[in-house]
Structure 1
Amino acid sequence: MQAYLAVALVFMINMAGTTLPTAIYHDYQTAFGFSPATITVIFASYAVGVLGALLTMGNWSDQLGRKRMLMMGLAASAVSALTFLFADCLAMLLLGRLISGISAGIFTGTATVAVIESSPPESRAKAMLAATSSNMLGLGLGPVLSGALVEFAPWPMRLSYVVHIALLLIAVLLLRSAPETVRVAEHPKLRMQRLALPREVRAAFVPAALSGFAGFVVVGFFTAVSPQVMRNVLGYGSSLLIGLAVFLIFLCSAIGQAVEKRIARKWRPRVGCAALVVGLVCLGVCAWLRSTTAFVIGTMLCGIGQGISFRASLSELSIRSPAERKAEVTSAFFVVLYVAISLPVIGIGVAVQSLGIARATIMFAVITIVIVLISLVLLRRVEKAQ
């Protein structure tokens, strides 16, 4: 196996662990008796961990080495799985999600760069696709794995984490065999992630960040809230089916990333944003008419749109970034994306309590469409200025 594919598989295994609880939330809610809004708070604690890790350690791999940081991320993922395995109260669920977020925060920027750097020059385009799609597919496979185990296996709130710990051991072996891709500093000077950007990427960063923000708001919605839509709006109770529905948006994201290179560079952000807008309209129609068809079509279009805009934004920033600051720029980009996953989802949770899941979903769709349109306007201004 080529080195970059091995690192991409490690990336996928780690990210699958971050979404394992998605199909188990209903069991937690039944067992511990908390409200739907509490689900979004549990989910948001994950995003707090991601942001904390990105801001604290986002650039550490430039000095400590990619492999050392990724091993730390796998260790955090194992600690998170053990916390969930023995969780018997809300506080432990919050702690497990927080540690899971730290693991994801270590991985998102570092693993993306490590996959690309592990590839030979002639395979860089394939490696970029492997890096971004392994992230999305890992996030999508987590709910499928836990959904299947909840549906058909014993120990519904525990077994998924036992399986993930076993997968993490495989990931450690794969990572040990991969080469280090940066020169490790003899006397590293570690500092918090700066949010300042190199001059070369500043013009492209705002529209890229906004389109990525909108796409990851949608990802946050599908990971944290769409199970409630399926149960309470569409009437589906199968944990496996709910896991597959969440997987669908991540699968379509990977498809969107795969076809992105076939679209002219100028049109990639526009096509991605257009698919997001139509998908969000379908999501609103689903909530209004209780339509499964609208939900499926909306999920697919949102996934494809998010994948196209995400990879286009990441590629543009990677091209413009100086070599010695690639991990720093990538981590800054992911800071924006995980703010998108956390804060809006909390808002949706509050809205669900007061408006109900259907009206809250419609409100979410409208607000996110506005964000997408603003990103397109800003993109046009940047193009005119160049």
Structure 2
Amino acid sequence: MRASSKEDPIPRLPQGPAFAGLVVTFTVVMLGATLPTPMYSLYQRELGFSPVVQTVIFAVYAVGVLGTLLLCGRWSDQIGRRPMLLAGVAFSLVSSVVFLVAGPVWVLLVGRLLSGVSAGIFAGAATAAVIEAAPEAWKSRGSAVATAANTGGLGLGPILAGLAVQFLPAPLHLSFAVHAVAVALCGALVLLAPETVTRAEHPRLRPQTLAVPAEVRAVFASASTAGFAGFAVLGLFTAISPRIVSEVIGDPNHAVAGLMSFLLLGASAAAQLALRRTDVDRTLNLGCVLLIVGILLVGLSVATASFVELVIGALVAGVGQGMTFSKGLAAVNARVDPAQRAAVTSSYFVVLYVAISLPVVGVGAASMAWGLETAGIVFCIAVAVLAAVALTALLVLQRRSAHQPDAVRG
């Protein structure tokens, strides 16, 4: 439902520019979440921390995301999208400023926590806002654009930061300075965007519950099953690909390390946009198959120190991740009431961020005990098995729902 603009003292952008501004803002904020990825080796060398500490740094980010989703995932349904998005922009800006002055490890932890809070706010509120702000000609593409902005931003962070670290001065500071300026400009775009929901007269700002409305539970079960597998692959690849490049393949180039995450996430974003009209069930199933193939290729690249297999694995897994993520979220958003959209979307992202966190924490600890090669191979096999289990569960759910009115259909 569109919010009323009566007595609005601020002139708002027209619908088309407002939609574009929200997409850009979503991309820029999520870009900040992955900017540090190619820098961890530099931080590790300067500060002397172990891979376990690097894992803790990521875990703090995940805590920020999950805590925010659980605390205020439904708030934008109550007080409006714009106030929550402005809060997310503010947390993203402060996170970049903290990284500009980062020194001790605890400062890095604070920066990552703030970044996680920002990403947690945007996961639900920005996804809902982009879908609702889409002009009529873009309505059918709104969900795909929102997920592509999310994933595309995550993919741009490592490659842009990697290029800056490798070829530009102030490798640990320049990227965050530029990002802080970009986020501040995006704040103006959010401020000028029209509100897309009617605010509650008496908002109830309670912590998020993971209850899903009955009418979308069958869809949500299928979507979250596939999405869990996709984000587990994403989490594992994000954790090990920079270290595979530098420690196993032996290439110290930071731009190449950033390129690996970009390839996976870029392939994911491209798949989300290209396959938006395909059948939901078949796309989710095929996505799981591609996740299995892609992550096994990554494991093979660890075993053989092969750069080519790592690249192919990233592209294949990226397409699979994009298919499972976007199709699942689109199917859920097509069924949910707009007044509950942010709450249900946030519940979906809670499942995904649990999935993305487990491999990162596990492989960081395991690499200390077993070494990176053994830990990487074991976890690649484990995540491939997880994707296979998800595929089996999808087939069972689809068979059951085929005889029910809530069946998932494309």
TM-score by length of 2: 0.91
Matching residue's letter, 1:188: P
- In structure 2, what is the equivalent of residue 18 of structure 1? 33
Of 237, 247, 256, which residue of structure 2 is paired with 1:241? 256
CA distance in 1 between partners of 2:335 and 2:346 (Å): 15
The alignment partner of 1:261 has SS state of: coil
- In structure 2, what is the equivalent of residue 313 of structure 1? 328
CA distance in 1 between partners of 2:225 and 2:59 (Å): 20
Following superposition, the deviation at residue 223 of structure 1 comes to 2.4
8 Å contact from structure 2 (residues 51, 365) kept in 1: no
Following superposition, the deviation at residue 132 of structure 1 comes to 0.6
Q: What is the number of equivalent residue pairs in this alignment?
A: 386
8 Å contact from structure 1 (residues 5, 130) kept in 2: no
Stretch deviating more after TM superposition (179-188 or 72-81):
179-188
Stretch deviating more after TM superposition (223-232 or 89-98):
223-232
More helix by proportion, 1 or 2? Answer: 1
Following superposition, the deviation at residue 369 of structure 1 comes to 1.4
The alignment partner of 2:102 has SS state of: coil
Matched, 1:166 2:181: yes
- In structure 2, what is the equivalent of residue 148 of structure 1? 163
Of 310, 322, 338, which residue of structure 2 is paired with 1:323? 338
CA distance in 1 between partners of 2:281 and 2:355 (Å): 25
Matched, 1:195 2:210: yes
Stretch deviating more after TM superposition (182-191 or 25-34):
182-191
Following superposition, the deviation at residue 262 of structure 1 comes to 4.4
The alignment partner of 2:197 has SS state of: coil
Identity %: 45
CA distance in 2 between partners of 1:25 and 1:101 (Å): 17
- Structure 2 residue runs of 5 or longer lacking an equivalent are 1-15, 402-410
Of 72, 75, 95, which residue of structure 2 is paired with 1:57? 72
- In structure 2, what is the equivalent of residue 185 of structure 1? 200
Pairwise mapping of residues 79-228 of structure 1 onto structure 2 (< 5 A)? 79-228=94-243
CA distance in 2 between partners of 1:262 and 1:179 (Å): 28
Stretch deviating more after TM superposition (139-148 or 68-77):
139-148
- In structure 1, what is the equivalent of residue 91 of structure 2? 76
**Cα deviation code 1:264-307 (max 9, x no counterpart):** 33311111111111101111110111111110000000000000
**Cα deviation code 1:28-74 (max 9, x no counterpart):** 00010011221111111101000011000100001111011000001
Of 271, 278, 289, which residue of structure 1 is paired with 2:304? 289
Q: What is the root-mean-square deviation of aligned Cα atoms in Å?
A: 1.3
8 Å contact from structure 2 (residues 363, 375) kept in 1: yes
The alignment partner of 2:346 has SS state of: helix
TM-score by length of 1: 0.97
- In structure 1, what is the equivalent of residue 396 of structure 2? 381
CA distance in 2 between partners of 1:96 and 1:210 (Å): 31
Matching residue's letter, 1:218: V
Following superposition, the deviation at residue 310 of structure 1 comes to 0.5
The alignment partner of 1:225 has SS state of: helix
Matching residue's letter, 1:198: P
Following superposition, the deviation at residue 314 of structure 1 comes to 0.4
- Structure 1 residue runs of 5 or longer lacking an equivalent are none
